[in-house]
Structure 1
Amino acid sequence: MRKQWMVGLLTVGLVVCGLAGAGHTRVEASATTDRFISSMSSPVKHVADEYKLYPSVMMAQAALESGWGTSQLSVNANNYFGVKGAYNGASVTMSTAEYNANGQLYYTQAAFKKYPDATASMTDNAQLLRNGTSWNHNYYSRVWRENAPTYEAAANALTGTYATAPNYGSSLINLIQTYKFNALDGAPMAANSAPAAKKTATVSTKVNYYVGADSQTATLGASYKHYAIYNHVKGSKYKSVKYNWSQVGGWQGRPVWIDARGYKVSTKTNWYRVRFSKQTTSKKYWVYSKALSFPKTTYAAYKKTATLVGTVYPVYNHVFNSAYIAKQLTTTQALANHSVTIDHKATHVQSGVTTTWYRIHGGSMKGWVPSSAVKN
């Protein structure tokens, strides 16, 4: 059997558990996983498709064994699969946690391959799974797509062959289902082709842009594949470049961060500027509104006089995280403990959590605030 479990891999449990834990841990874990998924989706799919493997399983393996790219082995050696040995003579020595024949954990030192980049790590791992071992070229044949009817079958076939950890396959399946990696298993990319942007002609039409707070989110909707993704609003005065979803790692339910809305006057349609990581420096794209699923916001007239609490809250021009894309106008500081008029109420539902927002008027201030900013 080729490999066991690395010490760096043990950190992945903390990362995965953090997704269901306290709020602070959730944010850190989300940022880590988003960066990893965004950078790895395209090379994983290309390599896995080339060797007729399941991209979902390869992505889960890379995430699991590298702790979402945070392990010392992946950071220092671009080794995302814990492959032992040397790559073109290059290696690093690290402590590794292994299981003996009785399933007991012990630690030892081992040399691991050092790769020039992540794609080399993917390719080396794919070649091993496709070509097998020196004594049995079919050793991993149950992982091949022609032999494994589902990604679950392929993942389970790695237990006892690729890794000795008894729950290895189930761990991979859990990651695939949690992060919907199975969406990567769709139609293969063209063999030996590199992701390339498709240039499209632009026909200028007026677009009104509205920039908002950069921490607002939505998800890719059920029909997102019916719409392309661009570097600019299609048909605007800017020359647009069209991308395939496979190039950016899209799948249904994947979260996106939104910081701007573009309204096409001629078609009366909305477009949104999105990125696939919480990090504001991440690459940004434009998508048509129907490619996204927004939290549900319901509006109603609501006449009332109220007083704002002493705590300072931001005041937005729209309900935060709604399809309008909210921009902060000011804060409630100037009107704290003063009477304001409310003329509308909004009920906002996101991830099963319902919040209430009010549109307030007070002096020259007008905008939306959460109900927690208003005294009962």
Structure 2
Amino acid sequence: MRKQWMVGLLTVGLVVCGLAGAGHTRVEASATTDRFISSMSSPVKHVADEYKLYPSVMMAQAALESGWGTSQLSVNANNYFGVKGAYNGASVTMSTAEYNANGQLYYTQAAFKKYPDATASMTDNAQLLRNGTSWNHNYYSRVWRENAPTYEAAANALTGTYATAPNYGSSLINLIQTYKFNALDGAPMAANSAPAAKKTATVSTKVNYYVGADSQTATLGASYKHYAIYNHVKGSKYKSVKYNWSQVGGWQGRPVWIDARGYKVSTKTNWYRVRFSKQTTSKKYWVYSKTLSFPKTTYAAYKKTATLVGTVYPVYNHVFNSAYIAKQLTTTQALANHSVTIDHKATHVQSGVTTTWYRIHGGSTKGWVPSSAVKN
């Protein structure tokens, strides 16, 4: 067996809530997790695909064992898996927890591999899983994609081999399902994908911009690879730079946050300003509408007079999280417990959850509110 998982956890000193608990990986999205996913998705997918492993499992392992990249080993040595020894002669010495023959915990100093970058750490781990141990080269063979029909099977195969903790596999599966890492398991990235940004010449065309609330989301659609990603709307008056998806770690189903829409007048097409983290300070890009998959919103005429509840709700110019990208106009505070007119109804389906929205008119207020803002 390669190591005891508790030793690995104590070694790297996980600091993210939920990762250190026995059998619990209830973690919440944060700036730390967002940065980790954004920076690690590309090297993880490239390496896992090369060695015919599940990228989702490798991503979950790296997140779990490095505390989303916050452990001393990952920060100081690019060591995301708590691997002892030296890498091309390079190592760092740190305190680690071990168990003696009586099962008692004690601390000692140990040398851990120091890698030049994250990709080297991923590759070293992938080679271990592919090459096995000195006494059994097939020791981890149940983890290989050709032998594991699902990522769940691969994750569970690491229990009792890679780590002794009985909940190791279930912890990985929990992370994969929580953060949709299984989206990484799709088609392999092209081996020759170029990392450099390419400048493109454009002919200026008029673009009307609509800025909305910055917490709206969509996902990369099935055809996202057919379209590029830019720093500005392609063909606008701004000089655009084209990027490859390998630079941002794109995969089908990956969540994106949207805060603006650009409408190209000449082609009557929509573009969206996206970022790959919920943090509003994250780098932003522009993509063509067909790059994204939006929640389904269906509209219908609907005539009714209703009264708003006392709780204050925002009023938007469009249904929130629709393809129009909603902007908050005001709140229902001035109309609380007052009668309003409804002229349209929208049904919004996102992640299997259906919500209803109404377009209301009341005094100078006109816009969309969720059905919970209206009394039954």
Contact 2:259 2:273 in 1 (8 A): yes
- Structure 1 residues 157, 284: closer, same or farther in 2, change over 3 A? same
For structure 1, which segment, 33-42 or 154-163, has the greater mean C-alpha deviation from structure 2 after superposition? 154-163
Contact 2:306 2:340 in 1 (8 A): yes
- Structure 1 residues 124, 13: closer, same or farther in 2, change over 3 A? closer
C-alpha displacement at 1:324, in angstroms? Answer: 0.5
Contact 2:229 2:287 in 1 (8 A): yes
Long gaps (5+) in structure 2: none
Distance (whole Å) between structure 2 residues aligned to residue 49 and residue 245 of structure 1:
16
Instruction: Give the alignment's TM-score, normalised by structure 2.
Output: 0.78
C-alpha displacement at 1:34, in angstroms? Answer: 3.0
Long gaps (5+) in structure 1: none
- Structure 1 residues 43, 305: closer, same or farther in 2, change over 3 A? same
- Give 3-state SS (helix, strand or coil) of 2:300's partner: strand
Distance (whole Å) between structure 1 residues aligned to residue 204 and residue 87 of structure 2:
51
C-alpha displacement at 1:41, in angstroms? Answer: 1.4
Contact 1:233 1:240 in 2 (8 A): yes
Contact 1:63 1:69 in 2 (8 A): yes
Distance (whole Å) between structure 2 residues aligned to residue 12 and residue 336 of structure 1:
53
For structure 1, which segment, 205-214 or 173-182, has the greater mean C-alpha deviation from structure 2 after superposition? 173-182
Distance (whole Å) between structure 1 residues aligned to residue 128 and residue 2 of structure 2:
10
Distance (whole Å) between structure 1 residues aligned to residue 358 and residue 222 of structure 2:
31
Contact 1:233 1:287 in 2 (8 A): yes
Distance (whole Å) between structure 1 residues aligned to residue 260 and residue 22 of structure 2:
29
Contact 1:220 1:252 in 2 (8 A): yes
C-alpha displacement at 1:70, in angstroms? Answer: 3.9
C-alpha displacement at 1:261, in angstroms? Answer: 0.6
- Structure 1 residues 323, 106: closer, same or farther in 2, change over 3 A? farther
Contact 1:50 1:192 in 2 (8 A): no
State the percentage of identical aligned residues.
Answer: 99
- Alpha-carbon deviations, 1:226-269, whole Å to 9, x = none? 22222211222222222222221122222111101111111111
- Alpha-carbon deviations, 1:180-217, whole Å to 9, x = none? 54554667667698721122221222111100000011
Contact 1:180 1:251 in 2 (8 A): no
C-alpha displacement at 1:345, in angstroms? Answer: 1.4
C-alpha displacement at 1:18, in angstroms? Answer: 7.1
Contact 1:8 1:73 in 2 (8 A): no
Contact 1:232 1:238 in 2 (8 A): yes
- Structure 1 residues 89, 28: closer, same or farther in 2, change over 3 A? same
1:71 maps to what in 2?
A: 71
- Alpha-carbon deviations, 1:108-152, whole Å to 9, x = none? 764544556544543554565677778888877887789989877
Contact 2:6 2:165 in 1 (8 A): no
Instruction: Count residues in correspondence.
Output: 376
Distance (whole Å) between structure 2 residues aligned to residue 166 and residue 42 of structure 1:
30
Superposition map of 1:242-253 within 5 A: 242-253=242-253
- Structure 1 residues 136, 191: closer, same or farther in 2, change over 3 A? farther
- Give 3-state SS (helix, strand or coil) of 1:25's partner: coil
Distance (whole Å) between structure 2 residues aligned to residue 233 and residue 87 of structure 1:
44
1:181 maps to what in 2?
A: 181
C-alpha displacement at 1:326, in angstroms? Answer: 0.4
- Give 3-state SS (helix, strand or coil) of 1:285's partner: strand
- Structure 1 residues 23, 104: closer, same or farther in 2, change over 3 A? closer
Instruction: Give the alignment's TM-score, normalised by structure 1.
Output: 0.78
Distance (whole Å) between structure 1 residues aligned to residue 375 and residue 11 of structure 2:
44
For structure 1, which segment, 246-255 or 118-127, has the greater mean C-alpha deviation from structure 2 after superposition? 118-127
Distance (whole Å) between structure 1 residues aligned to residue 150 and residue 22 of structure 2:
34
Distance (whole Å) between structure 1 residues aligned to residue 19 and residue 272 of structure 2:
27
C-alpha displacement at 1:98, in angstroms? Answer: 6.3
Contact 1:152 1:173 in 2 (8 A): yes
- Give 3-state SS (helix, strand or coil) of 2:95's partner: strand
For structure 1, which segment, 146-155 or 337-346, has the greater mean C-alpha deviation from structure 2 after superposition? 146-155
- Structure 1 residues 161, 308: closer, same or farther in 2, change over 3 A? closer
